[in-house]
Structure 1
Amino acid sequence: MTDRTALECELAAFMGKYEQANNSHDISRVVPFIAEEAVYWFSDGSYRGIEEIRSAIEKTFARILDEVYEVRELEWPVLTADVAVCRYRFAWTGVVDGELRSGQGRGTNVIVRREGELRMLHEHLSS
């Protein structure tokens, strides 16, 4: 296995665990994936730092009930041992205001390795 292949496997596993954490709807499972100084850009606004991001994600969990979030078609335009950029497609389904809804879009994440651990430094989701 090449170094690039090994890195892709490690990072794809990280993204899979991040997806699972989000699908748990338990913010305490999501926060460990996020760097303290992260910046997230969502359709409804921009969030800087772990507390703003936590609040935004909690609002999403409260608004979209029974949400299932799926990440697919991962691409790695930047891939080093300490920094990676991931482009992907995402889709979600859930109950909003009592009605089944769904959506899809594109995502970009910047993942960094800090003290041996992978963390999200930036996430940009757009539909």
Structure 2
Amino acid sequence: MGYEQALNAYIDATNTHRFDEVSKLLAPNALYWFTDTSCTSLDEIQAYFQNAWDTVKEEVYRAEDVHWIAVDERQAVCTYSYHWEGYVRGNHASGQGRATNVFVKDNEGAWKLIHEHLSPSE
């Protein structure tokens, strides 16, 4: 799987709402920057995802306008607009923002997400 397919697989895994699926695509030292916090361990990342899935029921997450801004044999960096929708306290809700994802190729040749930075749209 190439880096572009790794991004698609990551989005698909996120939409399963099962962190065991997401974690298959993460580097062991992954670092996430969200608007309200940073997650520096897989346990912290899992807790953040679980909280989001508990808060936004039936969430669907998607990436649009993906731009690969730096790519070589071992790393690939993309930016995109993210969009989500689901139900918060029974009411339909949605949002969007900007994302930067950094993928690295591990020793087995698999692309893994090592960094994600999400921020809301201005």
8 Å contact from structure 2 (residues 83, 96) kept in 1: yes
Equivalent pairs counted in the alignment come to: 119
Question: SS state of the match for residue 17, structure 1?
Answer: helix
Q: Which runs of 5+ in 1 are unaligned?
A: 1-8
Q: Which runs of 5+ in 2 are unaligned?
A: none
* Superposition deviation, residue 97 in structure 1: 1.4
- Within 5 Å, which residues of 2 pair with 1:9-24? 10-24=2-16
Partner of 2:96: 104
Alignment deviations for residues 74-120 of structure 1 (CA, whole Å, 9 cap, x no partner) = 11111011011111111010001111000001100111001111111
User: Does 2:57 align with 1:48?
Assistant: no
- Matches of 2:4 and 2:30, distance apart in 1: 20
- Pick the aligned partner of 2:62 from 66, 70, 74: 70
- Pick the aligned partner of 2:118 from 97, 122, 125: 125
- Matches of 1:18 and 1:62, distance apart in 2: 19
Alignment deviations for residues 28-63 of structure 1 (CA, whole Å, 9 cap, x no partner) = 110111111111011221000211111111111111
RMSD: 1.2
Partner of 1:4: none
- Matches of 1:28 and 1:114, distance apart in 2: 19
User: Does 2:27 align with 1:35?
Assistant: yes
- Matches of 1:42 and 1:97, distance apart in 2: 22
- Matches of 1:88 and 1:12, distance apart in 2: 12
> What letter is aligned with 1:108?
T
Question: SS state of the match for residue 24, structure 1?
Answer: coil
Question: SS state of the match for residue 73, structure 2?
Answer: coil
> What letter is aligned with 2:114?
L
Identity of aligned residues (%): 34
Q: TM-score under structure 2 normalisation?
A: 0.93
Q: TM-score under structure 1 normalisation?
A: 0.89
8 Å contact from structure 2 (residues 2, 111) kept in 1: no
> What letter is aligned with 1:80?
D
